[in-house]
Structure formats: C-alpha cells, structure tokens
Amino acid sequence: MIKILLNGCNGRMGQVITRLDSENDDVTIAAGVDISPEKCKNFYNVHSTLSDVKEDFDVIIDFSNIKGLPSILEFATLNKKPVVYCTTGLSPDDRDKINAASNEIPILTSANMSIGINLILDLVKQCAPILEDSFDIEIVEKHHNQKADSPSGTALAIADAINDSLSQKYEYTYGRHSKTEKRSPKEIGIHALRGGNIVGEHTVYFAGAGEVIEIKHTALSRDVFGVGALKAAKYLYNKKAGLYSMDDIISQG
C-alpha cells in the first residue's frame, strides 16, 4: 500500500483525491496539509504546515499554491520523498528550482494531470510539422469563472508542444482585441473563455484553405485530474531521482 501525503488536501482537487481514495486498493492517504485544516472533515489527520507532519508516507501529491513551491521542495528533499507536483503557473525560476531538486528526489510535474490531455499533446506534436506550411494554428480554452490564471497552463503547454515541433519558432498572440493588422502566418493564437462551472475544455484548430482540423479535449469532471495524480504517485513510488512527466506514464502503457 502506497501512503500519500496530500498537500492542499482541503482544496477542490484535494477533496477529489480524498474521495477517490476509497476506489484505490493500492493507495491511501496517510495525512494531509492545508492552510485551513478544519475546513473539511477527512478520514486522515490534517496539519497546518508540512513541519507538523509526523505520519509515515511514501509520496507527496501537491495541489496547493505556487507560493508554497520552495517549502514543498525543501520538505521533500529533506525527507527524500518523491513529489507529484500538480500546481500550475510555474515561472522559469520555479522550473529551475524543480530541476535542481530533481537531482536529489524524483519529481513529476505536469500542466494537466489528465491522461487525455497528455495524449492531446502527443497528437499536436505529430500534426503541427505536417500542417505548418499551409494551416493557421489557434487554441481556445474554456474554464469556470473562478479560475485565476489566463490563459490556462494547459493551453500554454499545448502551444509549447506545437512550437517545439515546428521548423521555426512561432509567436503567441493572446486574443486580438484592438489589433488592426492581418494575422501573421507565423503565430499561434491563444484565447481564453471564463464562465459558469466549466471544468476544462481545450480545442486546437488547424485552419487551412477549405478545411479545418480540430483536436479537442473536454474534462467532464475533476475526477480525471485526481485519477491522473494517483497514477502518477504509483508510478513515482520507488523511482530514482530525476524529473518525470505524464509522458512516462503513458509510454509504459
């Protein structure tokens, strides 16, 4: 049985993973950490800080806040424990910190924990080089009205996956408000919609002369992110130090 330390356990995704615990026979939550430890009733102990954790655990799953990255990396490195880092909004400096810590512990990061989204990333990498000379590329993402970042980390990950596969780098255009010039053929448009309780939807458009190819992923429930995070924790258990991604999980079948 793999024992999980769930950081951010009383947030939306923390509670999804808490509920999914009962559906997994080989994973259990040993303890949780949250800045509001009394907010939810959980079947495990919840601490207000990582330093208060006394329970034994095997893997950390983090769905907290980007501001807590230094403390989670310090805690994990000190305890020599793997981290599934699910919090989005990483800056280049944050990525440098993660890369440095991965020399000492296993770390898996992803802009989106959904298996489906990570398959989308593979698909656009295959399509973009074939279509780049005669198709315009646009990305539209939709999320609930409480989402803070825009565009989503997943939309940017899709754009990066496309850009990395092209023969030359394209520029990103975030919306087209107030623009009066024609669209450049060497750009990727990225657009964000916010409303209601949309869990997450990402569509990539390859628009050519007389035809349009759409690659779309819709998350109908936050469960897909929780399932992916638990798969990642199982995968990372007993791995050697290094930086891992959802691609590693997909490639193992």
Q: Which residues are catalytic?
A: 143, 147
| Residue 200, beta-bridge partner list | 219
The structure tokens 């024609």 sit at: 182
Question: Which alpha helices (DSSP H) does 107-183 contain, by range?
Answer: 115-131, 153-165
Going edge to edge, which strands form the sheet with 242-244? 46-47, 27-33, 2-7, 59-62, 83-85, 106-109, 242-244
State the Cα–Cα distance between residues 225 and 19, nearest whole angstrom: 13
26 contact partners, CB below 8 Å, separation of at least 6: 1, 2, 234
